[in-house]
Chains A and B, each alone.
Chain A
């Protein structure tokens, strides 16, 4: 009986820890307290800048005279999304710091300091929901900025619609986000890529190489793996490709050998994977060891990880992933972004993430200024009428979403260089076949 009791207790403790990791993540900080962030973390002092623009002004204006305006963010600063949550915070906080350094935001002729209230949702959707409410009801936030991915952004969007306070996101593919509310979002707004365009990019890129157009899909059973896997299957014939093998597996899978053998037997020369970085590293190593050498390989989520070329060495060279911001497009404010973030992050997903979150913040500030009021309903109305030259392009919402055009990137050395469209002036030569294989 004692042994059974011990085993039962062990299983219970294991279950608790597994749930903790799966739902909230055990790694990282667990602090839940509010973190005022009125200055940019881990970046050099920003150039002073007027509100509602992404161009950096040259002078600092007079101090703000009105009441501070609170902007709230519930972000994944610990748990599985911690690394990316920190980048979201950095982008938003830098935008707020720039406005405050320029004297505050202009609202109806009065300038106001912006106060950023940040809570760590530990990558947990339930906690994000609670914190979004607390930010509005207890901290007095007039708008919510950011989170990361649909599992976090959708619950916050629900809170925004319920409390009628605007919330704006990026890093949340628009179709999944729109599909979560068939009635249409009222106070929630999203600025990111469209999955239909995003999933066709790999075929557009693969057309730059000589392949037999046979595709093997390796997708995990998370929501995005299911949705994107289906889209890759759907679009393959339209581009002249054939999906000859598809493996679906739960996250945390480490042994892919049998599935690789099947993909190899099906003579696939294009690999499209959607998985978390630890699983992706295992897949790439096992493909090499088993003599499976695709000519084109994409790994969504996993290859966005900055350590991809470090952990894999030459084996990671040539891996594809989608991108969404290119300084070569020279949108307004690009020079300022490159000055603040460019040297720190190089040409990587980190740079795109911080810049896009900076852009989202400037769209909100533009709406506040045009509303002439810190009233959430007025800000929301102004957001609907947005026509703003941001660092990610000219922003105007349709069905509360603004689609940022995606393109394909490829790991070449320590940079994720742009490889589509083939006729883009900033596009790099395409690496194929993959040299590490």
Chain B
């Protein structure tokens, strides 16, 4: 049965999906690269935060001060050292390389942390409150807040800053960008670094609100990929709106047809919407 609670929970879930999908959308928009290792970065954010909170006693959200820069660096270095060379030869080799990185991540996490699930336990992991006559989870509200703020931040960065404009230029026409003095390889690495930092935020929220395992990133990659394609390739605003659509579809589908059908509803809607609008729901211009 659809209730106010169902709608609100769908929107909140969409906020988390937006955080998960933003980094994926950024890399796809800039390099046309489907980063299959994105889920590994998300889960990596969870594991890094787990280490920081365990050893330094920091709150998981505070741990982002260390974890986000670490994954920014990881994304930047990986792009600079490996993926840019491959992207310049065509995106298929680079995509296969991200697949390899994903498998490598699964193995490394299993060796380091075992296959048992981990959570980022804090006082607010399971805190709820009443608003609008609905019982809400604090971490879900935090996830939506991050989704809104990060979407705006990425949009402002791409539209209003010198480095953001350079990244867009490198995305639209790398050759022309080079001729006007833009270091395209550096812009690609910058975009990958930002995507890594965004994945870190997603991983920490997932760890606080849910749990994570070495191979758990595949589920988040799948949902992120769905959001990006539905939103329109490279559209930051479209990514956020599509995430809300997916979150709502999951919550409403589960409420109407039962829990077992909630993801089926998501992907059925995805197929129908793409059949009607193959370019994605919100794709008017890329990188906006």
Contact = CB atoms under 8 A, between A and B. Distances in A.
Contacts of B210: 254, 278, 281-282, 285
Contacts, number: 154
A249 B262 CA distance: 8
Given A3-B233, A281-B117, A290 B137 contact: yes
Interface in B100-145: 102-103, 106-107, 109-110, 114-119, 121, 125-128, 135, 137-140
A261 B213 contact: no
A306 B91 CA distance: 43
| Interface of B (DSSP majority class) | helix
Nearest to B212: A278
A123 to B, nearest CB: 10
A28 B110 contact: yes
A311 B121 contact: yes
Interface in A280-303: 281-282, 284-291
Contacts of A286: 126, 137
A284 B119 CA distance: 12
B58 interface: no
B32 interface: yes
A27 B109 contact: yes
A116 B5 CA distance: 57
Interface in B36-55: 36
A interface residue count range (under 10 / 10 to 19 / 20 to 34 / 35 or more): 35 or more
A255 B14 CA distance: 12
B270 to A, nearest CB: 12
Given A26-B106, A83-B115, A311-B211, A3 B135 contact: no
A313 B122 CA distance: 10
A248 B254 CA distance: 10
Interface of B: 3, 5-6, 9, 13, 32, 34, 36, 91-92, 95-96, 99, 102-103, 106-107, 109-110, 114-119, 121, 125-128, 135, 137-140, 209-216, 218-219, 221-222, 225, 229, 233, 250-251, 254-255, 258-260, 262-263
| Top 8 A-B residue pairs of the complex, sorted by shortest distance between their CB atoms | A288-B126, A27-B110, A289-B128, A10-B34, A278-B117, A249-B259, A289-B137, A281-B211
29 contacts: A2-B91, A3-B233, A6-B32, A6-B95, A9-B34, A10-B225, A13-B36, A14-B36, A14-B225, A17-B103, A26-B107, A27-B107, A27-B109, A249-B259, A249-B260, A249-B262, A252-B219, A258-B255, A259-B259, A281-B117, A281-B210, A285-B119, A286-B137, A288-B126, A289-B127, A289-B138, A290-B128, A307-B117, A311-B117
